[in-house]
Structure 1
Amino acid sequence: MRARNIGVSAAVGDSSVLICPNKSDVIMVTWKINPKTGGHCTLGYRADLNQTNRTNCTENTSWKSRPDHDPTLQIQPVGRASEGNYTCEMAAREGNFHLTYHLTVLVPPKLTAYCDSRGNPVCKAVAGKPAAQIRWVPESNSSPDWEDHGDGTVTVLSTFTGNGTDVNSTTCFVFHPAMRHNKSIACLPKNFTPYTAIIPGFLGTVIFIALIYWFKFRGDRLCHKSKPPETTPTQSSQDDSMEVEPYTTYVQKENVIYSSVEVNLTVQQNLPRGLLPVT
């Protein structure tokens, strides 16, 4: 019997293809699957009966095509429960072949980046398998913290401490067999408080409103200065004299008539009776 052992890996959600030696005149092929969690599973094929059988295998584990043409096994999609040993046993006219795969399932970590309460950049790779590696540019002097979750996954947390390096231009690089990622993080200075951002904004708003009122007040004053003063209509002395003159003339004429009548009466009273005028 010819036996070989091969180590392979696949990320959660991907597809994994395990090849069994392709020999001519195959009599029988059997896949024996022993996952780390869960029960034993077998897939078999007998050429003399052209028959396949399946025992306790999940739907994501099956033949890639027809086993009489290609005895390759396919796992799609790969899950965390897919990790384990996959052994292909083949009987052919050339002899018996035995091939075992040790499948390792990779779990990409969930990445987060933020600034802590002191204004330091923090990079966190949550529940990765294996543990992720974190590097900083520029280089950080701190050591990462590890948290083992007991199921093979590990969370790694790294805080950037650059001894005075400008934290506004730091980049976090995360290395993992299932991925490679980087995040740029810009944090505010350690002495930054929300008031340092609110006060300049408030002062800017006040100055802006004051300028608006100043320009408005200045514009109103210019308008008042340029507007000609209102004048009330005046009556000319000529019109007054024209209105007064008829009344004065009338009064004078009445006075003349009254005076002449009075004189005539006085003269008549002083004349002798024989000299009175005949009326």
Structure 2
Amino acid sequence: MGSSQQAGWCKKPTSPTNARATLEAVRKIVDTIVLLTIAVVTGATGNNRVTVTVGSSSVLTCSPKSNITMVTWKINPKVGGFCTLGYRADQNKTDRTNCSDSINWKLRPDHDPTLEMRQVEIAHEGDYTCEVVATDGNFYKTHHLTVLAPPRLTLYCDDHGVPVCEAAAGKPPAQISWVLESTSIPKEDAHDNGTVTVLSKFTALSTNRTNTTCIVSHPAGNQSKSIACRPSENITCHLCCVIFSLASLLVLLFLLAVFHLYTFCDSRTMRNQ
């Protein structure tokens, strides 16, 4: 063969950099295919956000599948330890680990793997994952549970006759506003259980406090109260004392002026004589 033909048969070797790039591209494609396959096989249904109020009941559903062989609820609260509820069809047996009595199956797990929580507490907040093993595959469903705590509204007059509004132990923190415009800056006090107490004093420039209304806004529900505050007896007494002192001073000054005038006139009369 000629040199030109030999050149046609000979190819330039692939550089290490190009080979690594090709392998990386292949690896990414394979990883994508594997992830898609896992998603199809497991029947992942994604996540679900659930919001409930303290003291109420909550029902968390699982993937409704027939021919279930095993169901497991894995509960990971923000506060406290991990707990599980399980069911095995081959043994027709249920078990529970570290779960409180308020968390249980709603019905028979072999018919319906739904989870029920009674008298929800703040400590129940967290992630709830249901894993179902059936003849046609494995299925997962996760619930992110958020617990709301409505604040306790208290409206009162302080020692100076100023309206004070308190939204105690709310989760999340409540928002306080006044019907009459106020320049008050609310103060927050956080508690160990995740709730927050918000306090606001009415500090409007107007002195008309015959009917002041406090409005508390919260995701669990809005509340409002009205109150009529009057100056306290201490303030009234203080004002009376100030007025009496000023009046006494004016009377004393008047008497001194009269006395000096009388003395001046009497001295002139004696000189004229």
TM-score (norm 2): 0.66
1:160 equivalent in structure 2: 202
1:29 equivalent in structure 2: 71
Q: Following the alignment from structure 1 to structure 2, what is the Cα–Cα distance between the partners of residues 55 and 97?
A: 21
| Contact in 1 for aligned 2:160/2:235 (Cα 8 Å) | no
1:259 equivalent in structure 2: none
Q: Following the alignment from structure 1 to structure 2, what is the Cα–Cα distance between the partners of residues 62 and 24?
A: 21
CA drift of 1:103 comes to 1.4
| Contact in 2 for aligned 1:167/1:189 (Cα 8 Å) | no
Kindly tell me the number of residue pairs found equivalent between the two proteins.
Answer: 196
CA drift of 1:110 comes to 2.1
- Give 1:101's match in structure 2, choosing from 132, 143, 151: 143
33 and 190 in structure 1: CA distance in 2 versus 1, 3 angstrom threshold: same
Q: Which has the larger radius of gyration?
A: 1
| Contact in 1 for aligned 2:170/2:195 (Cα 8 Å) | yes
Q: Structure 2: which 5+ residue stretches go unaligned?
A: 1-41, 239-273
1:238 equivalent in structure 2: none
**Is 1:126 the counterpart of 2:168 in the alignment?**
yes
2:96 equivalent in structure 1: 54
Per-residue displacement from partner, 1:109-134 (whole Å, max 9, x unpaired)? 22211112332211001121110111
Letter in 2 for 1:63: W
Per-residue displacement from partner, 1:54-96 (whole Å, max 9, x unpaired)? 2221100000011111111011111222122111011223322
| Contact in 2 for aligned 1:142/1:161 (Cα 8 Å) | yes
CA drift of 1:139 comes to 2.5
- Give 2:134's match in structure 1, choosing from 57, 82, 92: 92
**Is 1:178 the counterpart of 2:217 in the alignment?**
no
| Divergent runs of 4+, >3 A | 189-196
Q: Following the alignment from structure 1 to structure 2, what is the Cα–Cα distance between the partners of residues 50 and 123?
A: 56
TM-score (norm 1): 0.65
CA RMSD of aligned residues (A): 2.1
SS in 2 for 1:24: coil
150 and 52 in structure 1: CA distance in 2 versus 1, 3 angstrom threshold: closer
2:28 equivalent in structure 1: none
Q: Following the alignment from structure 1 to structure 2, what is the Cα–Cα distance between the partners of residues 150 and 191?
A: 38
SS in 2 for 1:54: strand
Q: Structure 1: which 5+ residue stretches go unaligned?
A: 197-279
| Contact in 2 for aligned 1:120/1:190 (Cα 8 Å) | no
Q: Following the alignment from structure 1 to structure 2, what is the Cα–Cα distance between the partners of residues 47 and 194?
A: 79
| Contact in 2 for aligned 1:133/1:176 (Cα 8 Å) | yes
- Give 1:10's match in structure 2, choosing from 52, 56, 62: 52
Report % sequence identity.
58
Q: How does 1:1-279 map to 2 (within 5 A)?
A: 1=42, 2-164=44-206, 166-189=208-231, 193=235
Q: Following the alignment from structure 1 to structure 2, what is the Cα–Cα distance between the partners of residues 142 and 66?
A: 55
| Contact in 1 for aligned 2:69/2:133 (Cα 8 Å) | yes
